[in-house]
Structure 1
Amino acid sequence: MNELSRWPLRLAALGACLLFWQLAASHKLDLGLITFVYVPTPSAVLDAALALLESGKLLPHLSSSLARVLFGYVLAVVAGVLLGLAIGRSKWAEDSLLPPLEVLRPIPAVAWIPLAILMFPSSEASMIFITFTGALFPILLNTVHGVEGVDPRLIASARSLGAKPLAILREVVIPGAAPSIVTGLAIGMGTSWFCLVTAEMISGQFGIGYYTWESYTIQNYADIVVGMLLIGVLGMGSSALVKQLGAWATPWYRNKGKR
């Protein structure tokens, strides 16, 4: 089945979700456990999105959020990949670095807010830090997994041919771990956006997360959904972009998967 032939089913699934949303919200469906009494209809959300677009506020919100996610994500990529390579290749690094990182990993982004405010002199740096923590651990763990999954026979063969440690890392370990690293990069991009609302709770001016939270506080329900959908679309698009760039960077893995 080629890629084009799969789109009708994908569009049908989206259409079914929109239809259910429209019917449930317009009829104020109340199932007891879950209620749609206060959920806005898709048409109300569309009106709110058009109003946001016409207001001129969308670009400042988007640019602020994109800058925070990009900065935090790039820092997480550098730290996560380097730490992952070190932990995956060195027992000493695994014993000294992995335990404290594993203690920090389960802490949710919202729990970092008070400490981030105390640690950093500006709210902007605090928001970037929270976005960074969201992306770091998926990248780190997938890099470690990829490095540890490299066939030891390939490393032994390279060593027997006289390859130095740096050459082994560059020519054997990194290419072998690249597919897992790319997966971590895509997941990390998604979690960066996931943490954005939490990060921008600190902000008092701009950002999609801030816009969503502000809409909740003033009970503009349609605007809440607009903010949620914006974060979802941006997260999905940026993750897909990372995966596509990763596929281009690992043609040996892509071609292997097609056979």
Structure 2
Amino acid sequence: MISKTKVRNVIGLAAAVGLWQLMAKGGFVNDFMLPSPAEAVQALIELASDGSLWEHLIESLKRVGMGYLIAACVGLPLGFVCGVWKPAADLVRPVIEALRPIPPLAWVPIAILWFGLGDASAYFLVFLGCVFPMFFGAYTAVRSLDMNLVNAAKCLGASRWMLMRDVFIPASLPIVMPNLRLALGWGWMCVVTAELIAAQSGLGYLIQQSRQVFQIQNVVAGMATIGMVGYLMSASLERLERRINAWAPSERH
């Protein structure tokens, strides 16, 4: 059975697209500057038919996946360690707080200088977009943990490894998982930014090339693909989050 929330979501999206189409057909929007949804869909079909859309999409997904994985391998353990061990937090947090406000776009010249044009630069920029939400998710989750759980486990003879595996990590998931989803969204935005400037393939590159030859319908088609794929990734991670955190209290809609 389809929930009322899903129905409202579809109605809202359909209304927005319908208004866009009406404005384009009514002449309120310059169809060269912003093609109608019908033109964007036609361009999307053509790009999918000749295979170029899938080639660029696969490259973008590969880059965001690799950068996200590297960020998870660095940000989550570092956040857990800093949350458990205060001296580590005193050393690491000032560095994190100094780097976190710098937007990934500002790192593009450095990324190109260090890694050149290509995948490595994109991995680096995605890493920067993902690592900070992951770190603070893990750090905040551990710092806000109910110490009664920790003390109870210690009384039962739990070692430090058992505390981390059986107490800290499971109890922190309700906070960590939303931050993983947030990090994925940031990573997806960063990979497109990287491809606009520092890559020779990917959805961002497709948009940039289409802009240069004034194929604005392909630009909009690329943007629509970015939005749809980003939504699907977020929805998939949200579903996984609900499965993993099924035991945790949740907000009812």
Q: TM-score, normalised by structure 2?
A: 0.92
1:56 and 2:56 correspond: no
Superimposed CA distance per residue, residues 51-79 of structure 1 (whole angstroms, 9 cap, x where no aligned partner) = 11122211211111111011011111111
Corresponding position: 1:46 with 2:41: yes
Q: Quick one: higher RCO (CA 8 Å, sep 6+), 1 or 2?
A: 2
Distance 1:181 1:40, change over 3 A: same
Mapping 1:55-74, distance limit 5 Å: 55-74=50-69
Partner of 1:7: 6
Deviations, residues 156-183 of structure 1 (Å, cap 9, x unaligned): 2222222222111111111110111111
Q: Name whichever of 121-130 and 40-49 sits farther off.
A: 121-130
Alpha-carbon separation, structure 2, partners of 1:43 and 1:68 = 30
Where in structure 1 are there 5+ consecutive unaligned residues? none
Report the alpha carbon displacement of residue 144 of structure 1 after superposing the two structures with TM.
1.2
Identity %: 34
Is 1:182 matched with 2:177? Answer: yes
Q: Distance in 2 between matches of 1:122 and 1:216?
A: 20
- 2:201 — aligned with what? 206
Equivalent residue of 1:29, what SS? coil
Superposition map of 1:172-251 within 5 A: 172-251=167-246
Cα distance change of structure 1 residues 8 and 243 upon mapping to structure 2, 3 Å threshold: closer
Q: For 1:84-141, what per-residue CA distance to the aligned partner results, in whole angstroms no more than 9, with x for missing partners?
A: 1011111111111111111111111111111011222552101111011111111111
Cα distance change of structure 1 residues 146 and 186 upon mapping to structure 2, 3 Å threshold:
same
- In structure 1, the residue matched to 2:20 is 21
The one-letter amino acid paired with 1:105 is R
Match of 1:135 among 120, 130, 133: 130
Is 1:157 matched with 2:157?
Answer: no
CA distance in 2 between counterparts of 1:106 and 1:140 reads 14
- TM-aligned CA deviation for residue 258 of structure 1: 7.9
Contact 1:25/1:37 (<8 A) preserved: no
How many residues end up aligned between the 2 structures? 252
Q: CA–CA distance in 1 between the matches of 2:135 and 2:24?
A: 41
Please give the alpha-carbon distance, in whole angstroms, between the structure 1 residues aligned to 2:98 and 2:24. Answer: 42
What letter matches 1:257 in structure 2? S
Bigger drift between 44-53 and 201-210 goes to 201-210
